[in-house]
Structure 1
């Protein structure tokens, strides 16, 4: 069970969302805010990319220089190559935004950023989902992949609330909380969210603290919290991670929590996105209670609860 001790790296946020929900508007809003010298990776300009009015020129490497000093990679090349191309420049960005297209799966992108090679320079700061408050229920009914996308989000921008009725907004927020109790939700119109609410979330970092989440589920996505008193046995923890989490990438979307493992003087922060996971020593001393939030579909909750209890050191 290797532990990562990582230096300061460039934060990366992944922005995904439903078609027409206001995802590109959000990216343009963040860029125009000048909150950072951003590096933006998008598929193309126009309807699914950066506002063309912000672009001053595109160099021979395919890097667009924006009027506010930000940089944008316009190519469809390998993501790792695009990341390192942005930060190899003299005027390198101090924050990177990756805009997904349509209902693209955020997991391959998250896995790339969490890969040990990329983690030398970058850290996954958060996954931001954008949803249309008026049409969320219909969208989830028509495309269940939308629920899966929301399940990975660390923050959800519930947009177009000015065009929805109070009942629609409340219902949409309730659906999001059922799908993903870990996510912070911001109600907004025209994707106008304070950048401070979306950036530097450190959702995959050591400062995260679990809360007491209800056992919520929908026909497509479910979530529950596992707890265990006392210290856990290291070998049993490794076996649990392998058998119940990373070996089930189509069933377990995300898992995150603090584990009190025998042999360590500090708690261990575990987090996974499908089969990619990390274990890092937290700052606080080891405590008696271990807590792990699991989000997935088709999971046998009693089976997980029994297996988690069996991790206790004898």
Structure 2
């Protein structure tokens, strides 16, 4: 776990147009809790408070008056990440603001890539939703629900402009789309920074929030175990068939796998279709253990399929 703490945490912030994600970024930047590095697609789309910007250098890095940095050009995400930490005064937290209804999956997967993980750790995916217009927005463009579906934290914004009934309905919609997300109703995106940062939602020790069980009685959590080593090709097939191909049913999975051909256990994590595999320092051979969290799953089917992964 010490390796996690040495990496720079990264939060991906997405939301519907007009939901308030840029307002949230400005609020976090102005909170003074961190020296942020901010990465956006295009400078013209950021909405970063102009009074914060002091200058933009030849590398496309804007220096902000509170010590934060903003990568203002459209470029490769990995390049932008490493460029922004190449400064003498490095940021201690990175915010990536998605544009419009951008899919968070490729961005999150990039941050979880082994090369990026040498310096960065995906801390959370934050979704911003408009309490007053959420139902209509989802009706007009249901594909936009993907940002909420993958979020570890949802900021339900503009509650001051919505009726109590609209807020209640919006909360029900979010719980239906994503029963595991931490939900924070707020106005003008003024959420407590400590409530949305350092969530460690992609840490191996992450546990589902207790309230998820209260709001979603049919939420399932079960653990798959195997004593013998697992066949590598069978593990790959299991991940594809039983985990990432069922994003509407399998919300999270995490565990340590002892795979034939590897000297150390493999840490597996997935959030719907987002997943990562990396070797740990623990020796293989100690058995495998995988926690699955979902809805409407046939537990017996998963137990049988996981047992079949073992070397005969």
Structure-1-length-normalised TM-score: 0.82
1:235 corresponds to: 230
CA deviations 1:203-245 (Å, max 9, x no partner) are 001231136756999xxxxx95352465466527724213223
2:183 corresponds to: 185
1:35 corresponds to: 33
Q: SS where residue 39 of structure 1 aligns?
A: strand
Q: CA deviation at 1:10?
A: 0.4
Against the structure 1 CA distance between its residues 268 and 107, is the aligned structure 2 distance closer, same or farther, given a 3 Å change threshold? closer
* 1:274 partnered with 2:273: yes
Q: Is the 8 A contact 2:4 2:121 kept in 1?
A: no
Against the structure 1 CA distance between its residues 155 and 233, is the aligned structure 2 distance closer, same or farther, given a 3 Å change threshold? farther
1:212-231 pair list within 5 angstroms: 225=220, 227-228=222-223, 231=226
Against the structure 1 CA distance between its residues 9 and 265, is the aligned structure 2 distance closer, same or farther, given a 3 Å change threshold? closer
Structure-2-length-normalised TM-score: 0.82
Against the structure 1 CA distance between its residues 268 and 190, is the aligned structure 2 distance closer, same or farther, given a 3 Å change threshold? same
Aligned length: 296
Q: Is the 8 A contact 1:126 1:201 kept in 2?
A: yes
Residue segments in structure 2 that go unaligned for 5+ positions in a row:
none
Q: How many Å separate the matches in 2 of 1:145 and 1:292?
A: 25
Alignment equivalent of 2:302, drawn from 282, 286, 308: 308
Q: Is the 8 A contact 1:255 1:273 kept in 2?
A: yes
Q: CA deviation at 1:196?
A: 0.5
Against the structure 1 CA distance between its residues 255 and 116, is the aligned structure 2 distance closer, same or farther, given a 3 Å change threshold? farther
Residue segments in structure 1 that go unaligned for 5+ positions in a row:
218-222, 296-300
Q: Is the 8 A contact 1:39 1:71 kept in 2?
A: yes
* 1:139 partnered with 2:134: no
Q: SS where residue 24 of structure 1 aligns?
A: helix
Q: How many Å separate the matches in 1 of 2:165 and 2:227?
A: 45
